[in-house]
Structure 1
Amino acid sequence: MGDVLPGGSGDGTVRGGVWSDLSGAARDVVQAGQVLGGVHFHGPAPVSVEVPVPRQLPGDVSGFVGRAAELAELDALHGSDGPDGLVPVVVIAGTAGVGKTSLAVRLAHRISGRFPDGQLFVNLRGYDTGPPLAPAAALERFLRAFGVPAPAIPAGLEERAELYRSLVAGKQVLVVLDNAATVGQVRPLLPGTAGCLTVVTSRHRLSGLAVRDGARRITLGMLAEQESADLIAAATRGYRTGDDPAQIAELARLCARLPLALRIAAERAATHPLLALPELTAQLRDESTLWEALSSPDQEEADAVRTVFAWSYRTLPPPVARLFRLLGLHPGPDFSVQAAAALSEREPRETHGLLDLLAGAHLIESTGADRYQFHDLLRAYATDQAHQEETTEDQHSALSRVAVWYLHTADAARAAAQTHHPSVLSTEQTRPAPVVAFDGQQDAFAWHRREQVNLLAIAQAAAQAGLDEIAWQLSATLHSLHIARDTFDDWQTMGHIGLEAARRLGDLRAQALMHDTLGTAYKDSRRLAQAGEHHQAALDLRTRIGDLPGVAESAGGLGLVHLWQRDLDASRTRLEQALAFYQRHGPYHRTGPALCGLAYVAADLGEHQQAAHLAHQALTVYRETGADHYMHVDARLLLTRVARKAGDPAQAEEHMAEATAMLDTTSPPGLEALLHLEQAALHREQNRHDQALETYWACETLQRSIGNRTGQALAYDGIGQTMRALGLLPEAIDFHTMAARILRDLDQSWDLAQALAHLADAHADNDQPEPARRHRAEALTLLDDFTDPPAAALRRRLRGLTTG
């Protein structure tokens, strides 16, 4: 019952929604600042939406050598549109380690100025030892980069791709898709408009992109002999002198002129300046290659790559070599110093030094402050060495250590985030060292943002390795961080991982907890049917094992789901069940949200006196327990709505003033948006039309910024009602139409029925009886699903107008 309850609206209850997708209805939005005096609208104009400009390119490649011909060819390709005017797509193909990513990054930096609307970059991890990055996950990153709030990101791949294409339509955006394994990974990420360039790197030809998407392919070969020598010379400059060019050429040949192998070999030469090149090349030539071959389309190149890897690896001091191979067991794409320390059972300071040695040898690369990653070939090599040199038990122990470290660090982040959710870890569980210390809520959120991909990978690896307790506890621990950051994809995926792990353990309490977190995840992402199923499953399990506090929690969760579905009788039953338990057994602070939820049910049923009584009771609990300000504001907004509906504007104004006074910098923007919506309705009903329009626009701006499309629609509907009162009937019709379009897309039947009724009234006043009849008929069909008194009253009114 820790959820924020839905706030009041002009003619219904705001129950969430998703962000306008800048297509369809969103293109019809009028942008207004202050609307005062004579208002004249002559059809909707495009909205001015401030969209962030993503700058996601990694740093340019240091010591880049050669590829002048390829860069010239790429420049020429970008200078002209693709065949038949298709969006330009360039595929840089080539064997592993040939320098595809380096070339793509160098090109991207050279031409970034031609793409003022943004540069996107994602590693699709098509050749990592773990699973590749799914297109839906890549699209989520892109949409967030363009400022789309999490609640606005659709669940389905196709819908995400449509929103993405809408956002980049008419823009000049550079998209770099690194390490793509299949066409299926790439195609959903392609912009749908000219003016953009997509650069794809892959070990495969990806011929389907050429056939269907007009892609041009450049196949990257080995560096030329002179370019290879130049790379070695550049990497060893300042460390070695007097090397014979013929010996440099021989070293390059042994590296198959592959940039990855060349850089590792050059680093070895630079760190051994007194060792003559003939001795280095002899060592490399004699290096054992008796380990399983890496995947490569060319065996000679694979032999050269693994020879260089083995040559460099076998010269590492034992502690550094062990850390290298243990890092191959880390499930995520990158790792921090602290995670590496947990994996290797060393202190962070010592681990940092070992990591720097590996980075200096080009066996890993630094990606930021205290963070590192592998090239995918080197990760495969490290993993293989771990499988060969570490016992199965030691490998399992290493994974267990790093998983436990992530679990306890996540628990520390949960505590720092200052949520009401208790820890699921028992006091018997040993706390590993070192766990990150967090400096408050924002620091915890920043850690979760950095580690988000790793946390999902850890949960998956833990489940696969039989570490089922860690798998479900990690999901449960991250519950409150997922709520705060709206990371719906990972939240739901981890919830299902945790649920299956709890089932394997036969732990019914853990299963109920996982159903509960999934219920909240689906509810907050507006997938109410799934939310109801999981909350009901949690309720059934908790009833079965006699977990009465859990029963109350699940009943409250179901009550909110039913409220958002406007199943008001069911909502009241469940919320009353939760309230009864909290009143008898505590904790007392949880009676406040239950009372407020029941107040919303009463308000939706038109029981104004009961709603006010319950809201006042909730406020008493909030005052006595020191509840957050947003909870007080929420209850006072409901009192404002109830007083307004009861025809007491003076009382409504008093409650509104109290709610406004309690808003502060910590208040959620959604709550401020709801305050504007209620204030606007109050202005409109008192014929203060200029103030109503100004306040509705303030509401619309906030609702759009947080991704609440339902809130946007209700603001448009309120503007339409105000326009009608001003006699601006065509404008009123436009705004009601926009509201109805959004609500229809969101399947918000109750709010849509009301918007259609308002739209019909505007058409009728404008001497358009046929569209008025049509919209009333649709509204009546929608109202068949509702039996509550307000729905019955609206049904009677519409039938009277239809038959009159």
Structure 2
Amino acid sequence: MMNEQAIPATAQGDAPSTSPVDWAAWEREHFVPLVQAAEAAGPDRSAWLLAVVLWDTKLPSLSLEDWSAIADRGLRAVRRLGDRAGEARLLECIGMGHARVNRLTESLRCHQQALEIRSELGDRRGEASSTNLLGIVRLHRRELSAAEEHFTRARALFEEFGDRHRAAMALANLSSTRCAAGRVDEAETDARRALETHRALGARRSVGNALRQLSVIHRERGETGAALVCAEEAVALALELRSETLEGYWLLALGKAQRAAGRSEEALASFHRAADLHARSGNRSREAMAWRAVAQVLLDRGRPSEAAGLAGRAASVHRELDDPWHEALALACLADATPGEESRDHRERALQLLSRYPDERAAAVRRTIGEGGLR
């Protein structure tokens, strides 16, 4: 066991009151010193395992920055041990942490390193997990062909092991990838099959993700009622799960369905709530997506000056995060909100950014922007 004398006294005793605020303060104050003590006193196994446990429990009071400090210490510890399987597991957690705040280059590097280790060890289940996570990062970077290859490979591996849940997760990811590329019919087939499996398994988080995807598909087809039903069920599941991360993400789909249905007040409320939740979690990319969505509703309501401020703010964040796709969409919204030469400049810049993407959806978006906007 870890040397108890090395652990701060307050981590052994002096438990906080039952107040959630007190617990949050106590957790934040003591978990980082606890790992520091574990690293200083050993054994190293305690330091890296604690980092993984804290990631898996997802304590709302522990910020990503605090956890990153813990993870860095854990990674040094597991490497000193020479525990390659443990190193891959912690690299996987760190990669997911980077992705959560849109540090996609760093996330990609971590998952690639984890995959290399697992391949060397002959850990096929670990390979499947790393391959799926690499697909998620590629999808976020809009490298759609590579993402599809990763998800197809991951799904095959999960099916080989008889892991129905994770195979269905990979299938849902394939749906997102194909939808992003404009292949909506294939995406719907994938999403419905994934949803059926997740419902049968009682995997509520995954059910919500598939419902969000189906909401997007229905909305794109003009099936507004079905889009609303799917998104509302997804958000209700997020509330049951008490996950603000999921709630914030799925509210974006609900707000878009509400906007399509002409329910602008409800859409604004959904988007504002989504922006607040993503700001709280540190996901600046999705926060910016929410502000662009608010700007679009404001344009619908004839308030271009307010819309321009939010769209410009969103474009700046996406530019800072090196996300050309979403920067282009925000610039197109900004072009719709500004007059004359300024509007043309924003539109031209958006088209330049989109020129790197070869998929069907990108081509359709370029045509729409060229014809006068995305509203």
Corresponding position of 1:571 = 147
Aligned AA (2:348): A
- The 3-state SS of whatever aligns with 1:614 is helix
Instruction: Give, in angstroms, the shift of residue 605 of structure 1.
Output: 1.2
Given candidates 28, 32, 48, the residue that maps to 1:472 is 48
Structure 2 spans left out of the alignment, 5+ residues: none
Corresponding position of 2:118 = 542
Q: Partners in 2 of 1:603 and 1:444 — Cα distance?
A: 42
1:759 is aligned to 2:334: yes
1:788 is aligned to 2:359: yes
1:679 is aligned to 2:268: no
Aligned AA (1:776): R
Instruction: Give, in angstroms, the shift of residue 447 of structure 1.
Output: 7.2
Corresponding position of 2:220 = 645
Q: Partners in 2 of 1:453 and 1:730 — Cα distance?
A: 45
- The 3-state SS of whatever aligns with 2:242 is coil
| Greater fraction of residues in strand | 1
Instruction: Give, in angstroms, the shift of residue 694 of structure 1.
Output: 4.3
Instruction: Give, in angstroms, the shift of residue 490 of structure 1.
Output: 4.4
Corresponding position of 1:713 = 288
- Normalising by the residue count of structure 2, what TM-score does the alignment of the two structures yield? 0.85
Aligned AA (1:739): A
Corresponding position of 1:772 = 343
Q: RMSD of the TM alignment (CA)?
A: 3.3
Q: Partners in 2 of 1:711 and 1:471 — Cα distance?
A: 32
1:600-619 paired onto structure 2 within 5 Å:
600-619=176-195
1:584 is aligned to 2:163: no
The alpha-carbon distance between structure 1 residues 674 and 544, as it changes in their structure 2 partners (threshold 3 A), is closer
Q: Is the 8 A contact 1:479 1:491 kept in 2?
A: yes
Corresponding position of 1:527 = 103
Corresponding position of 1:635 = 210
Corresponding position of 1:139 = none
Q: CA offsets, 1:281-328, max 9 Å, x none?
A: xxxxxxxxxxxxxxxxxxxxxxxxxxxxxxxxxxxxxxxxxxxxxx9x
1:453 is aligned to 2:29: no
Q: Partners in 2 of 1:521 and 1:706 — Cα distance?
A: 11
The alpha-carbon distance between structure 1 residues 646 and 470, as it changes in their structure 2 partners (threshold 3 A), is same
Instruction: Give, in angstroms, the shift of residue 538 of structure 1.
Output: 0.9
Aligned AA (2:173): G
Aligned residues: 370
The alpha-carbon distance between structure 1 residues 444 and 614, as it changes in their structure 2 partners (threshold 3 A), is farther
1:559 is aligned to 2:130: no
Q: Partners in 1 of 2:269 and 2:114 — Cα distance?
A: 45
Higher mean C-alpha displacement, 475-484 vs 524-533: 475-484
Q: Is the 8 A contact 2:88 2:115 kept in 1?
A: yes
Q: CA offsets, 1:144-203, max 9 Å, x none?
A: xxxxxxxxxxxxxxxxxxxxxxxxxxxxxxxxxxxxxxxxxxxxxxxxxxxxxxxxxxxx
1:731 is aligned to 2:302: no
Q: Is the 8 A contact 1:334 1:454 kept in 2?
A: no
Higher mean C-alpha displacement, 733-742 vs 658-667: 658-667
Corresponding position of 1:659 = 234
Corresponding position of 1:742 = 317
Q: Partners in 2 of 1:659 and 1:482 — Cα distance?
A: 20
Higher mean C-alpha displacement, 781-790 vs 443-452: 443-452
The alpha-carbon distance between structure 1 residues 728 and 485, as it changes in their structure 2 partners (threshold 3 A), is closer
Q: Is the 8 A contact 2:158 2:167 kept in 1?
A: yes
Q: Partners in 2 of 1:579 and 1:443 — Cα distance?
A: 43
1:248-647 paired onto structure 2 within 5 Å:
330-337=5-12, 368=14, 448-449=27-28, 451-462=30-41, 467-481=43-57, 485-627=61-203, 629-647=204-222
Aligned AA (1:569): S
Q: Partners in 2 of 1:752 and 1:458 — Cα distance?
A: 43
Q: Partners in 2 of 1:337 and 1:661 — Cα distance?
A: 39
- The 3-state SS of whatever aligns with 1:682 is helix
Aligned AA (1:605): A
Higher relative contact order (CA 8 A, sep 6+): 1
Instruction: Give, in angstroms, the shift of residue 618 of structure 1.
Output: 1.7
Instruction: Give, in angstroms, the shift of residue 697 of structure 1.
Output: 3.6
Aligned AA (1:634): N
Q: Partners in 1 of 2:269 and 2:188 — Cα distance?
A: 28
Higher mean C-alpha displacement, 510-519 vs 533-542: 510-519
The alpha-carbon distance between structure 1 residues 569 and 332, as it changes in their structure 2 partners (threshold 3 A), is same
Q: Partners in 2 of 1:507 and 1:708 — Cα distance?
A: 32
Instruction: Give, in angstroms, the shift of residue 704 of structure 1.
Output: 4.1
The alpha-carbon distance between structure 1 residues 472 and 642, as it changes in their structure 2 partners (threshold 3 A), is same
Q: Partners in 2 of 1:799 and 1:525 — Cα distance?
A: 32
Work out the percentage of aligned pairs sharing the same amino acid: 31
| Greater fraction of residues in helix | 2
Aligned AA (2:38): A
Q: Is the 8 A contact 1:482 1:491 kept in 2?
A: no
Q: Partners in 1 of 2:165 and 2:345 — Cα distance?
A: 49
Q: Partners in 2 of 1:520 and 1:703 — Cα distance?
A: 16
The alpha-carbon distance between structure 1 residues 503 and 742, as it changes in their structure 2 partners (threshold 3 A), is closer
- Normalising by the residue count of structure 1, what TM-score does the alignment of the two structures yield? 0.42
Corresponding position of 1:168 = none
The alpha-carbon distance between structure 1 residues 595 and 442, as it changes in their structure 2 partners (threshold 3 A), is farther
- The 3-state SS of whatever aligns with 1:606 is coil
- The 3-state SS of whatever aligns with 1:652 is helix
The alpha-carbon distance between structure 1 residues 618 and 447, as it changes in their structure 2 partners (threshold 3 A), is farther
Q: Is the 8 A contact 2:103 2:321 kept in 1?
A: no
Q: Is the 8 A contact 1:602 1:611 kept in 2?
A: yes
The alpha-carbon distance between structure 1 residues 695 and 491, as it changes in their structure 2 partners (threshold 3 A), is closer
The alpha-carbon distance between structure 1 residues 566 and 485, as it changes in their structure 2 partners (threshold 3 A), is farther
Q: Partners in 1 of 2:60 and 2:152 — Cα distance?
A: 27
Q: CA offsets, 1:70-124, max 9 Å, x none?
A: xxxxxxxxxxxxxxxxxxxxxxxxxxxxxxxxxxxxxxxxxxxxxxxxxxxxxxx
Instruction: Give, in angstroms, the shift of residue 693 of structure 1.
Output: 3.5
Aligned AA (2:127): V
The alpha-carbon distance between structure 1 residues 606 and 542, as it changes in their structure 2 partners (threshold 3 A), is same
Q: Partners in 2 of 1:608 and 1:476 — Cα distance?
A: 37
The alpha-carbon distance between structure 1 residues 672 and 782, as it changes in their structure 2 partners (threshold 3 A), is same
Structure 1 spans left out of the alignment, 5+ residues: 1-326, 339-367, 371-438
